[in-house]
Each structure stands twice: as C-alpha cells, then as structure tokens.
Chains A and B, each alone.
Chain A
Amino acid sequence: MSIEAVPTGGADPGQSSVLEVEELAVTFTRRGEAATRAVDGVSFAVAAGETIGLVGESGCGKSVTSLAIMGLLPRRGVQVSGSVRFGGTELVGAADRTLRELRGADMAMVFQDPLSSLNPTVPIGTQVTEVLVEHEDLNRKQATAEAIDLLDRVGIPDPARRLKEYPHQLSGGMRQRALIAMALACSPRLLIADEPTTALDVTIQAQILELLRELVQGSGTALVMITHDLGVVAGLCDRVHVMYAGKIIESADRHDLFARPRQPYTGGLLASVPRLDAGRGTPLTPIRGSARDAIPWAEGCAFAPRCDNAQDDCLTEVSGSTVPLEYDGPGRELRCRHPLTHPPVASGATASGAAR
C-alpha cells in the first residue's frame, strides 16, 4: 500500500475525509461514583481508502472511541461531547433513526469476539441477509443470492450450505469472516474493526488481516483498525494514533512511527514486541507498571508514573499547564515534554522488523 497517496495530518480535516472526529470526549457517570472520562478530546480523520490504527493497551479508550463514533454506547450514564462528522453528517447527538440508517449501510463495524458477537439462535444466513433486507430494499430471495456471494467473497467455502448453519457450527475464523461479510454487505464507506483478530489463532489472524486489506483496497473503504497489536499496525495501517488514558499521545505515519517513536510510551510498546533479529535469550523489555498507574491528565502526563524520561515538569503543578498535543515535524503530532531522541539517520527499528 503506498503511503504517498495518503493525506497526512491527523487532526487537520482534509477535504476527502470520510470521517472527522474532533475533540471527542466520553464520560461515564454512575450514581454514587466519580465520573470516569474514558475518551478525552480525541481528534483524527480518515480519508477514503485510508487505513488508520488506534493503538493502545486495554482500557485506553480505543474501543469506547469506536462505539461513540457508531453511536452504540448506551444512552444512560454516558455523556458524549465533541464532534463526529461522517460524510457531512454530525453523528454526536444525532437521532436514533439517522444513526440506524447509516449503520450497516454506510458505516459498519467488525467486533472482537466473533462467537459472542453472533446471535446463537439465528442462522448465519439470516444474520447476513437481514442487513441487506434492511438497507438495500432487496427481497428475501435476492438477499440470499447476495449473501451467498458475500460469504464466497470473504472466503467461506460452500456458502450456500453455511447460510443454514448456526454460529456454533462454524470455526472461529469462519465466524469472523461471516461478521466481516455482514459488515461489508452494503459496501460501507467506513469500516471500524475493533481488535478483529484478538480471539483468533495466529495463522487465522494473518488470513483475516489479509482479507480486510484486500476488501478495503479494492473498494476505497476507509478503515479504522483498533488494536493493541503492533504487528497488525505494521501490516495494515497507513497512519497510527497511539492512545493512552483516553487521549492521543502520538500520531504519525506507520513508517515514521516504527522508525522513530517519539513518545516514550510508543517506544516502550515497540521495545516490548518480540523481534526475530534479536539474539537468543534476549529478554523482552516490558513497560513497567500497568495502565492503572495512570494519573489524571489534569495533574500531568498520564504516562509519567511509568515513564523513564519523566521529569518534574511532566506534572502540571510544576509546569503550570497540561501537556498539549503539538506539531512534531511533518505529519506528526506528539504529546510529550521529554520525547525520545533519535540520531539523524533512522536505524534498526523498521516497520517490518516489528511485525511478527
């Protein structure tokens, strides 16, 4: 996939953007408990045919971001603010009807666990055709023919027979393919894939990623890939946004990011990936601590407690301001006061090196 063809600039809304997310914030409130801000001022854009990655550990807010875009968060106890513009339509605060018309037709989603994401009591066929019947104005017979074609396209053998089967009769990989078929049924302009390979074993993971890449490349679909797996990023994404504790902390082109990670967190993520070219017995370098050690952004950089580069001015009370997301060279943005520095010529770490 060529990178030159892809518009750069994460928060800067390019004309061809399919999706523009601006200052998106999601707050969960529960009676008797302090409100939790799961997503905090996230901005990014995706152009047609572009694949972006939202990367981070569990609990960093990447899944909540995707659910907020799709309008799939429960209404009760959840506050969404900011703006999500999809092809000119504002989705934050949009009517349920508007969202239902767009979902499945123009924007679609593939979920993490293919077994629990499929209805166990409804045949696969019905679960594929119902999208078509809902959005495409097809009758049952046409929808069935279309569904057979779809299942065939996502690489499910003997699709006509599979239509009558139930999710528990399919293997994990087949289930994920079926989910992808449902998501792509109406040729959406935007596809969000939330850790689509996490529940699958490694060989199947590779197949599913390859399938997603093929399907997206041909149709000009914008793809948002949500993952904690840098291997997935290396193989698929044009641009990468690294999230930590609800905020984007670094945005860059894939190659730049792998070659010269600037945020110490990104550096830590890359260093903790096992590498084939490392010597035998070389220990992995994990990031110390866990995501639970994060401090509120208002008090300073959330990653500071785990960061090797952290200094006093990472804290708000010392510097007098919260850490901003700033321009960091062409096509790059960074939220860090003490980034990693690199020698002028990028060495060693390349995208392919980090990929599994």
Chain B
Amino acid sequence: MLRFILRRLVQLVPILLGLSILLFAWLRALPGGPAQAALGERATPEAIARYNELFGLDQPLYVQYFRFLGRAVQLDFGSSAQTGRPVTTEFLERMPGTIELTLFAMVFAIGVGIPLGYLAARKHGSWLDSTSVIGSLLGVAIPVFFLAYLLRLLFAVQLGWLPGSGRQDVRMDATRITNFYVLDGLLTREWDAAWDAVLHLVLPAIALGTIPLAIIVRITRASVLDVVNEDYVRTANAKGLATRTVRRRHILRNALLPVSTTIGLQTGLLLSGAVLTETVFAFGGVGSALRDAIFTRDFAVLQGFILLLAVVYVLVNLLVDISYGLLDPRVRVR
C-alpha cells in the first residue's frame, strides 16, 4: 500500500512539470504581459522595460522558467500584484472555503443522488424513474451560474430565507483558526458563528452540487439496473436471503463501485475551483480568487493557484484510487 502511494506521488512529478511548462507558455503568450498588467494601460515603454528588467522578464524564456521552477518547489510563487501578499498565503486562506463548499455540495449530491438513483432503478419504468431521468438531464444541462443566480434571487433576495453572499456575516467577527469557518466556529465554541457559516453554504452548495447530483443519480440508477441482473444476485436469491440482505450486501455494494469513482472525480473537479458559483455568491474561495486574478492579469496568482490546484486534484484522485481498492477487493493493492 505504502509503495503504491509513493509510486503515485512520484508520478505526480512529471504531471506537474508538464503542467507548469504549459501554464508558463500560456501566460507568456497572452497579450499585454505582466508589466502592462502591473503598470496599467498607459505605462510608457521605458517603464515597461525597466519593470521587465527588474523582475527578470527580459531574460530568455527558459531562464525565466527555471527560475520560476526553482522557487515553485519551495512553494514560493511570488506575490500577488494586487494585494502584494505571498501567493501561497493567499491560497492557504482561500482553499478552506472551497473545501467546505465542495464538501457540502458533495454531501448534498451523494445524500440525495444515491437514494434517488437506487429508487429509480427499483421502480424501473415508473413515474419516479422517468422523473429522475428527466430531472437529471435538466440538472446536467442547466448552466451552473444561471442556477446559482436563480437560487440566490429566490431564496436570498426575494424570500430572504438564507444569506446570499459571502462565507459568514461580517458582523460576526468570529475567531479564525483554520480558515474553515464552520470548523473554527465549532473549535472556538462560537456556535452561532458556525451555524451562520453553514447557512451561508447552503445555497452555493446546492448550486454547485446539482451537476454531481444529476450524474450520481444517473450512474447509480444505471449501475443498479446492471447489477440486479448479475448471476450473483440470482445466487443470493437462490440462497433465500432476506430481501434486505440481498439489496444491501449484493446489489448496493457492487452498484456503488462505479458511483464511487464518479464521486471522486466530481470532488476533484469541484475542489479545483467553482469559479461561477463562487462569483455569484461572492464566496471567498479559490474560484473567486482565480476570477479576480484573470481580470487583473495577476500572473503570479494564476500560476501559483493553478499549479497548487493541480496538486490538490491529483491528491484527491490518489485518495479515490485508494478508497476504490478498499471497496473492490479485485483491485486491492498489496
């Protein structure tokens, strides 16, 4: 097991190297380089030249790249052009918000999706089945920002049931320990702060969780329909086991294997930045930071965040692979 994890971590190196080259080339190919971004539209050519010289941007690209790489391995991605703070610090502040949002969104998607998909399969051909199929098609088809906007308009603006922006009421003045607001509230026993953070998560989590929800419903349904026709389910029935045992041990357990893969992939996707949802709800996570960095051409932030997110994504997938081995003995690694 340990060797497996180590091997996967080593595999991470070429992936990140490749990604860093692509990222570096892409950012340098954008019109109006970092100097323009930092100095503004009306900067004189002399000022730009001086800026480039100062930051080594007049050097050949490969020199720039290796210099960037050398600092990156020490987790130094420079400082944000906007705030002047180190990129890594910004990332560590923002990531907890995104992780919280992702967890809530996935809990929503899994908690609703698996039971719904399972019921749809059991009542194959019923109105519940067709409704869930059509509903999940809609769920995949609806643009996230649109859904987020609708939810916010209805439940936050019109009805006023739930907060519609931010991660916590600013008047809360809650103590920060980990930057996971819910966790911080629990750790400091500031229950109202924790509850307020939870309320702030509801709408964005539903908006963000809708696509994973729709996918989980569809995969669960298809997978259960597949598994009920398996020979081993017939064997289980031939053994006269109670319906409950057949369902739990023999149908669900196998049907959830493909679902667990999907859950892992979706979690990875959500973690790497829910730009649209975070923007609509002014949610201070990685996604909104990325959007800001794109608008302000904050190259240091873009480079740093994207690379760090790639690391997160690959690590999540490693976790998925490990958990898959726990669920399915056939792929268990020794």
List the B residue with the shortest CB-CB distance to A73.
B234
Does A121 sit at the interface, judged by CB under 8 A? yes
Contacts of A120 in B (CB 8 A): 232, 254, 328-330
Inter-chain contact A121/B254, CB cutoff 8 Å: yes
| Contact yes or no, B329 A121, CB < 8 A | yes
* Min distance, Cβ B230 to any Cβ of chain A, angstroms: 7
Residue among B235, B237, B253, B257 with max Cβ neighbours from chain A (10 Å): B235
Question: B59 at interface (Cβ–Cβ under 8 A)?
Answer: no
| B240 near A101: Cβ-Cβ < 8 Å | yes
With A116-B232, A117-B234 in contact, is A130–B239 under 8 Å at CB? yes
Say yes or no: is B249 at the interface (Cβ < 8 Å to chain A): yes
Contacts of A211 in B (CB 8 A): none
A168 to B243, CA, bound (A): 25
Q: How far apart sit A135 and B240, CA to CA, in the bound complex (Å)?
A: 8
With both beta carbons as reference points, the residue of chain B lying nearest to A179 in the complex is identified as B235
Complex Cα distance A220/B327, Å?
41
Chain B positions near chain A (C-beta within 8 angstroms): 230-232, 234-243, 245, 249-250, 253-254, 257, 327-330
B249 touches A105 (CB 8 A): no
Subset of 13 A-B contacts with CB under 8 Å: A100-B237, A100-B243, A111-B234, A117-B231, A117-B235, A119-B235, A120-B254, A123-B329, A130-B245, A134-B242, A166-B330, A179-B235, A183-B238
Question: From residue B104, how far is it (CB to closest CB) to chain A in Å?
Answer: 29
Shortest B28–chain A CB gap in Å is: 50
Whether A121 and B240, one on each chain, are in contact in the complex, defined by CB atoms closer than 8 angstroms, is no
Contact B250 A122 (CB under 8 A): yes
Q: Is A102 an interface residue (CB 8 A)?
A: yes
Nearest CB on A from B116, distance (A): 22
Indicate if A182 sits at the interface (CB-CB under 8 A): yes
Q: Does A70 contact B (CB under 8 A)?
A: yes
Query: Distance in Å from the Cβ of B89 to the closest Cβ of chain A?
Result: 45
A121-B235 contact, Cβ under 8 Å, with A134-B240, A134-B245, A166-B330: no
Tell me whether B230 and A116 are in contact (CB under 8 A).
yes
B247 to chain A, nearest CB (A): 13
A113 on interface, CB distance cutoff 8 Å: yes
Give Cα A122 to B230, complex, Å. 14
Say yes or no: A182 contacts B239, CB within 8 Å: yes
**Contact between chains at B328 and A118 (CB < 8 Å):** no
A130 touches B234 (CB 8 A): no
A109 at the interface (CB under 8 A from B): yes
User: Is A284 an interface residue, CB under 8 A from the partner?
Assistant: no
Nearest to B124 among chain A residues (CB) is A76
Establish whether residues B241 and A131, one from each chain, have CB atoms under 8 Å apart when the complex forms: yes
